A and B are shown apart, each in its own frame.
Chain A
Amino acid sequence: MLRAKRLRALVFAAVLGLPWFAGSALAHHSFAPYEPDVQIKLKGKVTHFQWTNPHVYLGMDGPDKNGKMQHWTIECANPGILNRVGWKWNMIKEGDTIEVIVAPLRNGEPGALLKAVRLADGSTYTNGGPAGSAKLSFD
């Protein structure tokens, strides 16, 4: 009886706990608008690099998953998270050639969530834990 009650309480906590975790507590917004499984690699010149809260943004041209050239808006974590995982505010500049691994928006628009970036000097950086890790490699 007590065990069944405990089990019910556990299931209740698990079911209701999930959306709290997924929805709000970790960042400015949910990452659910981005593909959970699809990732693509892009290489190109940085057209825009914006070091702001609540997010850092990168702009670059690159092909989408169908090979069509697009201008991509790539969302990174915020300056605080990026500083803590080793980025520096001025390590990327407009005109730099970089490679990125990103998860595109599910709605098909040319926006994406950064998973990892490789700079021209070969150094690589993650986008911090909340954004999830890269499932592809640069090489």
Chain B
Amino acid sequence: MRRPAPAFVDRGLWLLALAGVAFALAPSAHAQQQGDAAQVRGLNGTWERYPSVSSGLGSAKNDGPPPPAPIPPPPLKPQFLKSWQAKQAEIQKLTEQGLPPANNYSACIPDGMPAMMQAMFPMEFLETPGQVTVIEEAYNQVRRIYLDQALVPAEDAEPRFWGHSVGHWEGNTLVVGTVGVKDNVLFRNVPHSMKMRIDERIQLVGKDFMRDDVTVTDPEYLTGPWTWTWMYRRWPGYQIQEYVCEDNRYSGNPENGSQRLRLNDQ
């Protein structure tokens, strides 16, 4: 026969249980911070480029606010504009001939900044205390925006694909500055120096759309700011997929530098 537990054990268990409940209900500093961040901002979640460019890239839903204007040509200084135009024309010509030149994409090298924010595939925003993280499905790209910190001077910034980004909130607008993008990481083949700076203003448009107003400046290559807007549509429930270039069958054809497919199955 089982003996009843002494009364002090019973009382002790109750006290322990009460302490547990109290502990569970008391918000930790960490949780409070997270709650505040989520409450104010609303960028958390998965997003797709808007308007959708093609089926399979996103949900292909295109009902929403007016789309942003097309990205204008870069205001390159005359001495760079000419060679850039010639290069663009050559790429077009070779592409029409079926010989598109090999490039970073065909070598499985990710976008970097600012091209990553075009959201080729869906994109995820994560707001955590002191940081906003952007994950782009294409090429498993991750970009970390540190909040309320000083931006490293451009001349001291280690060159990287996504550079160095810091941000702060102005109302509900995330204002981000980026420097330190490697000079071989090009958006639309536009050359830039290590003095290039990317400024962004990221904000919600209504509840389910978001815009990123981008301004690129570069005193060495551009005559003035190059600005455009990207828009995104919220995609509730979408789960970002992995993207590892496990078997890239494209390489530069040694004869003419064009993208060439390897045919064997293995």
Contacts and interface: CB of A to CB of B under 8 A. Distances in A.
Interface residues of A, number: 49
Contacts of B70: 13, 17
A101 to B, nearest CB: 16
A35 to B, nearest CB: 8
Contact of B108 (A16, A23, A28, A73): A28
Contacts of B149: none
B103 to A, nearest CB: 6
Contact of B95 (A12, A19, A53, A80): A19
Interface residues of B, number: 50
Contacts of B263: 73, 109-111
Given A54-B248, A73-B265, A78-B243, A28 B91 contact: no
Contact of A83 (B89, B92, B189, B241): B241
Given A12-B73, A52-B246, A81 B108 contact: no
Interface of A: 12-13, 16-20, 22-30, 32-34, 47-48, 50, 52-55, 57, 59, 73, 75, 77-85, 105-107, 109-111, 126, 128-130
Interface of B: 53-60, 70, 72-73, 85, 88-89, 91-92, 95-100, 103, 105-106, 108, 118, 120-121, 137-138, 188-189, 241-250, 258-261, 263-265
